[in-house]
Each structure stands twice: as C-alpha cells, then as structure tokens.
Structure 1
C-alpha cells in the first residue's frame, strides 16, 4: 500500500513538471487529438452582417479541413433571425453555402424566422433544409452531444 501511495505522489508531482516543460517548449504541442470516432458540431448564424456570415462559413470550412477531424466530422449550420440573409438567393453567399453542403454540411433554416420575416422558400437557396425552430434545433443537438459554435 505504501508503494502505491509513493507512486501516486511521484506521478502527481511530475505532472506540473510536464506542463511546465510543455509551456517552456511550445513547439512540442501540436494541438489536441480527437478521441471520438465521430465528432458532431452545430454552428449558429443569426446575424446579417457580411463579416459575421463570411466568418461563420470560413470557420466551418476550416473545421472541415482540419486533418485531425477529416472523415469523422458531421456539421450542421442552423440559420435563424437576421442570419436568413446567408440563405437568401439575392445575396452573394450561395456558392460558399452550396460548397459546404457538397461536403456534407446540413443547412437548416428556422421556419419561425421565415414566418416572422414573411420570407418564402422561393426566396431562399433551393438546397437548404428546414427546421421548425432554430433554438429548438440547437437545444436538441446539444442534448445529443454536439459541440456548439457561435462565431
């Protein structure tokens, strides 16, 4: 029993040294590694600001391109409120959004937002999907264990 106690104390004392060594040599840190076979991430877009829309789409693309997540990442983009601008046909985001969908990203438009803003499906890109409520979708995805991103 004493041996186990001494080993435990020795290990716990060496952990700060390991952390300190890593901090002293940041080149030895290459980022976290995934321990999950299947990662899931849901993004929320609720702004019509061009910079925020482009940043959200770029963040999604960056995540898809991360070599640590290649082949084991599922992504959903939930659009609600002012974010509807990102899915409207008359905006300049259609090509970027279609490219994300072609890579497997689920594009989910909040139907509550559409009713409130009197926007029809004809006003939006033809390839988007619909959910009854954007907030509800986010709640459900988080309960299912999806990581939540709101750039």
Structure 2
C-alpha cells in the first residue's frame, strides 16, 4: 500500500507544471467570429470627462478592425448622463459623427420628466425610450454587451 501511495505521489507531481509568467507568445487576442455584434453603452454621469471618455470608447470600438462593419452600438443616457445631449454642451460634433456611423443615440424619458427638462433643450437628432434601465434590461436579454465605462 505504501508503494501505491508513493507511486501515485510521483505520478501526480510529475504532471505538475511550474508556475510561469505569461509571455507575449501565449496571449491570443479575441477573434471576431460572428457576423454582427451589439453593444449598449450606458451613460449616467454628467461629468464631462466621463462623457468624453465614453464617446471615445464608442469610437474606438467602431474602429477596432475585428469589429469594423459588424458592430451595432446604442448609447443610452439617463440620470446625469442627459448632459451628453444638452444643446449647450460641447458634444454636438462628436455625437453627429457617431450618429453618421450608425450609433443610436437614446435618452431616458424618466430622466427628462423627473428633472423637468424640456426636449427642446436637447438635440433633435436623438431618440427616446421610457426608461434607461428598461432599455438596459431588454438589450441584455437580446444578447447585447452592456458597457458601462
């Protein structure tokens, strides 16, 4: 019995590989295998740096060679994120560029009602949904990636 345990221990330890750091040769970037990809970017912050970063993230995703021509993006703004669509804000040109590239620009109606924001103070090229959270939930169950930078 002693020999069986000794043999089992030798076989066990012989199959262990030493822990090594990952090298660049081992890393494999994700590959594009689908015909279409869907991503919903959720923006609930009015911080201009956060908004600019989110818009930049969308642009970067659209330009990723693995996703180019395969990615459908929606930007849902709710809560403080409504600032992205404010006509007095600095994001009009970036938003128009994203829209021209097929990005759906969407605003939560709960937010504008609760904050007493007039739709006329927001860009006229955006769309509306009843609730931002509802949009996130529904898109999730449709298989969309939910991105909250």
Count of residues in correspondence between the two structures: 134
Please report the RMSD computed on the Cα atoms of aligned residues, expressed in angstroms: 1.9
Which of 118, 139, 142 is the matching residue for 1:141? 139
Gaps of 5+ in 1: 1-12
Alignment partner of 1:61: what SS? helix
* Mapping 1:58-137, distance limit 5 Å: 58-137=56-135
Gaps of 5+ in 2: 1-14
Q: Where has structure 1 moved over 6 Å in runs of 4 or more? A: none
Question: CA offsets, 1:97-147, max 9 Å, x none?
Answer: 111111000011000000011112110011000001000000000000000
- Rg: which structure is higher? 2
Distance in 2 (alpha carbons) for counterparts of 1:104 and 1:30: 29
Question: CA offsets, 1:10-65, max 9 Å, x none?
Answer: xxx8xx89xx79x22x1564521022111000000000101100000000000000
Distance in 1 (alpha carbons) for counterparts of 2:118 and 2:135: 20
Distance in 1 (alpha carbons) for counterparts of 2:57 and 2:108: 21
TM-score, L = length of structure 1 = 0.83
